[in-house]
Amino acid sequence: MKHYDFEISLFVDGELAEEDKEKLFAHMAACKECRNTFEEYLRLKEKSKDFFIQKMDKLKNKDAGKNKFYKISFYASAAAAVILIMLLAGGKERTAYIAKTEVKYDTVYVSEKSESAGQIKKLPAPQAVKKKETSKQDEDSKIIEYVMSLPSEKITEADLVKQENGSM
Amino acid sequence: MIFEKKRSAKELFQTYSGDVFNYSLSILKDYDDAKDAVQEVFIRFIKSEETFRGECSYKTWLLTITRNYCYRKSEGKSNQLQKIDGALPNAYEMNIDSSISLNDALAELSKDEYEIFYLREYAGYSYLEIAEILKISVDNVKVKLYRVRQRLRKYLK
Ligand SMILES: [Zn+2]
C-alpha cells in the first residue's frame, strides 16, 4: 500500500492542493500508520518552532549573558513587552514581562550589588511609558520594584569589561 | 508573475525590517551584525530599486538581498577568524541516534536544511516565497522539507 508521508508534509504546511486532500483523508481514515505520521509531523512542527523561537530569543538577548548586571530594556513591541528584565543569578536567566504596547525607550544596566547604597539615582521616568500594568505574578513586580530601587547608571562597554566578574 | 503596486522604501522598512532582521540573525547568529545587516540591506534595496521588475514580491526580493548580503558577510568573517565553536566535537555524528534529543538534531542540521526549516517553521513563509528566496523550484521546496521531516521524526520521543 502506498503511504502518504509526502502529502502529509504538504498538508501540515497548508500547501496541499484541495483536490488532493480528499484522497489523503480517505487514506488516513483507513491507515493507522499515516495517522501516526500525521501526529508526528504536527508534533515535530510544534517542537521545531519552539526550538527556533528559543534560539532566536537567545541570540537577541545575548548581551544579557555577558555580565553580572540586570539589563533593563524599555521595549516597544506591538505584542509584548515594555520592560524586559534579565536577571542573571548564577548564570540563570530570568525574564519578567510587563505587557503593554509602547515605543522602545531605553536600555540601562543596573549592577547587581550596590556598593554605593547611599546615593540612589532614580531612573528617569520615560515619557512614552505610562502607568505600567503588571501582567501577572506579584513576584515579577517585586523584582521590578527591587531593581528599580537599586542605584543605577548607564554603564559603558568599557565599564562592563572592567567590572565583569565571573561571567557565565 | 506577481503584480505589486510600487511601495516606498519607508513603507517596506516598516513592514519587513523585522523579517530582514530575523533572517539575518538566523544566518549571522550575532545581534549587532544582524542590526547592521538591516541597514545594509535597505541601502542596497534603495540603490537597486530601479532594477526591480516585479518578478517576485518586494518581500522576497528584500529577503534575497538579505540572504546574499549575510552569506557574503559570514564567509568574510569565517575567513578572518577561526571558528571557535567549530572546534567542538560533533555530538550528532558521534552518538547513536537514540541518545540524541530532537533539539540536538535540529542544532546539527546542515546549513541548507537549517535555512529552509527556519524559513518555514519560524518565519512561516509559503512554499512559493521560500522558492523565490532560495532560487529553487516549489517542487524542490516540497521535497527538501519532506526529507528534513523524515530525518527528524525519529528523534521525537
Ligand atoms: Zn498510509
Note whether B31 contacts A49, CB cutoff 8 Å: no
Same domain as A90, residue A9:
no
Contact assessment for residue B77 and residue B30, using Cβ atoms and an 8 Å cutoff: no
Note whether A59 contacts B25, CB cutoff 8 Å: yes
Scanning the structure block, which residue is given the C-alpha cell 559570514?
B74
pLDDT over 50 (residue B111): yes
Q: Which residues of A touch B102 (CB under 8 A)?
A: 44, 47-48, 51
Query: How many angstroms away from the CA of A10 is the closest CA of chain B?
Result: 7
d(CA A77, CA A67): 25
**Structure confidence at residue A83 (pLDDT):** 34
- Give the start-to-end residue ranges of the domains of chain B: 1-77, 81-157
Query: By a Cβ cutoff of 8 Å, what residues of chain B touch chain A?
Result: 22, 25-26, 29-31, 34, 102-103, 106-107, 117-118, 120-122, 126-127, 142, 145-146, 149-150, 152-153, 156
Size of interface A-B (CB pairs under 8 A): 63
| pTM of this structure | 0.62
pLDDT over 80 (residue A168): no
Q: Sorting pLDDT into bands at 50, 70 and 90, what band is B113?
A: very high
- The residue with greater pLDDT, B129 or B74, is B129
**Structure confidence at residue A72 (pLDDT):** 47
Mean pLDDT of B61-74: 94
Tell how far the Cα of B74 is from the centroid of ligand 1, in angstroms: 43
**Structure confidence at residue A152 (pLDDT):** 39
Same domain as A57, residue A84:
no
- The residue with greater pLDDT, B90 or A43, is A43
Nearest by CB to residue A62, choosing from B22, B31, B127, is B31
Q: Which of A76-80, A91-95, B26-30, B126-130 has the lowest mean pLDDT?
A: A76-80
pLDDT exceeding 90 applies to what percent of chain B? Answer: 62
Q: Which CATH number fits domain B81-157: 3.40.50.150, 1.10.10.10, 3.90.79.10, 3.40.309.10?
A: 1.10.10.10
**Structure confidence at residue B6 (pLDDT):** 75
Structural domain boundaries enclosing A32: 5-65
Query: By a Cβ cutoff of 8 Å, what residues of chain A touch chain B?
Result: 5-6, 9-10, 13, 15, 37, 40-41, 43-45, 47-49, 51-53, 55-56, 59-60, 62-63
The number of folded domains in chain A is 2
**Structure confidence at residue A78 (pLDDT):** 34
Same domain as A24, residue A80:
no
- The residue with greater pLDDT, A55 or A68, is A55
Same domain as A30, residue A104:
no
Query: How many angstroms away from the CA of B144 is the closest CA of chain A?
Result: 10
Burial label, B111 (beta-carbon count in 10 A; 0-12, 13-18, 19+) = exposed
Q: What are residue A83's DSSP bridge partners?
A: A74, A98
Mean pLDDT of B104-117: 95
Mean pLDDT of A130-154: 48
**pLDDT tens-digit map of B1-49:** 445 667 788 888 989 999 999 999 999 999 999 999 999 999 888 888 7
Contact assessment for residue A160 and residue A66, using Cβ atoms and an 8 Å cutoff: yes
- The residue with greater pLDDT, A123 or B139, is B139
Burial A91-117 (b: 16+ CB within 10 A, else e): eeeeebbbebebeebeebbbbeeeeee
Burial label, B81 (beta-carbon count in 10 A; 0-12, 13-18, 19+) = exposed
Q: Which of A9-23, A78-92, A137-151 has the lowest mean pLDDT?
A: A78-92
pLDDT over 50 (residue A6): yes
**Structure confidence at residue B100 (pLDDT):** 81
Same domain as A160, residue A93:
yes
pLDDT mean across residues, chain B = 85
Same domain as A46, residue A107:
no
- The residue with greater pLDDT, A109 or B136, is B136
Note whether A15 contacts B120, CB cutoff 8 Å: no
| Cα A22 from chain centroid (whole Å) | 39
Boundary of a domain, candidates A65, A82, A100: A65
Looking at domain B1-77, its CATH class is: mainly alpha
- Closest by alpha carbon to A109, among A73, A144, A59? A73
* DSSP category for residue A91: T
- The residue with greater pLDDT, A133 or A102, is A133
**pLDDT tens-digit map of A15-65:** 999 999 999 999 999 999 999 999 999 999 999 999 999 999 999 987 544
**Structure confidence at residue B80 (pLDDT):** 55
Q: Which of A34-38, A64-68, A83-87, A143-147 has the lowest mean pLDDT?
A: A83-87
pLDDT exceeding 90 applies to what percent of chain A? Answer: 35
Query: How many angstroms away from the CA of B51 is the closest CA of chain A?
Result: 31
Same domain as A12, residue A54:
yes
Same domain as A78, residue A58:
no
The residue of chain A nearest to residue B138, with distances taken between CA atoms, is A15
Tell how far the Cα of A2 is from the centroid of ligand 1, in angstroms: 6
